[in-house]
Amino acid sequence: MKTVVYVETSIPSFYFEPRTDPEMVARREWTRAWWKVALEKQELVTSPAVIDELERGDYPSRQECLDLVAELPVLAIEEPVMDIVETYIARHVMPSDPAGDALHLALASFHRCDFLVTWNCTHLANANKFGHIRRVNTLLGLFVPALVTPLELKEMDDEH
């Protein structure tokens, strides 16, 4: 059975990242290398939140980003998901934008995704926040997805 990976907005954005400084080039290349393997080895899913964020953006690769995730299954934003978002915000797990990081984490948790893949290392793929996220999800009776970057997932795939 394939692992389920929630693809957050930063992934298609970095797949088409145009900046040429070394860190941005590395993230783009790691994202592309992971994506190529992930399509075969993992079940990639996304959400209306990701599609909405990509559609609202005004940037040159907007359509390419949307096309990249167009074939992925889209997780439903059910009423309990919004309750989870409110709890994350109230407990200071995530910033107060209900359509942002809290929604991505709530969707991945509610739908029991094995991983949430992101380049957002401030609010999501942040080891310092993971204990707080785990405690709140446990209190809510929710699954706790691993919050990782494409590089971390690629390295895990390379080991197997």
Could you read off the pLDDT of 69-100 as tens digits, one per residue? 999 999 999 999 999 999 999 998 887 776 68
For the chain, give the percent of residues with pLDDT over 70: 98
Amino acid 118: pLDDT: 93
Amino acid 98: pLDDT: 62
83 contacts 57 by C-beta, under 8 angstroms: no
Amino acid 122: pLDDT: 74
For residue 46, the SS3 value is strand
Which residue segment(s) compose the domain that 36 sits in?
3-159
Please report, for the domain that includes residue 49, its CATH number. Answer: 3.40.50.1010
Q: Which pLDDT tens digit goes with each residue over 141-155?
A: 999 999 999 999 888
Lowest model confidence (mean pLDDT) among 40-49, 131-140, 151-160: 151-160
| DSSP conformation letters of 11-44 | HHHHHT----SHHHHHHHHHHHHHHHHHHHHEEE
Residue 12: pLDDT above 70?
yes
CA atoms within 13 Å, Cβ hemisphere of 35:
20
Q: Which pLDDT tens digit goes with each residue over 108-129?
A: 999 999 999 999 877 787 787 8
Amino acid 125: pLDDT: 75
Number of domains in the chain: 1
111 contacts 79 by C-beta, under 8 angstroms: no
Model-level pTM?
Answer: 0.94
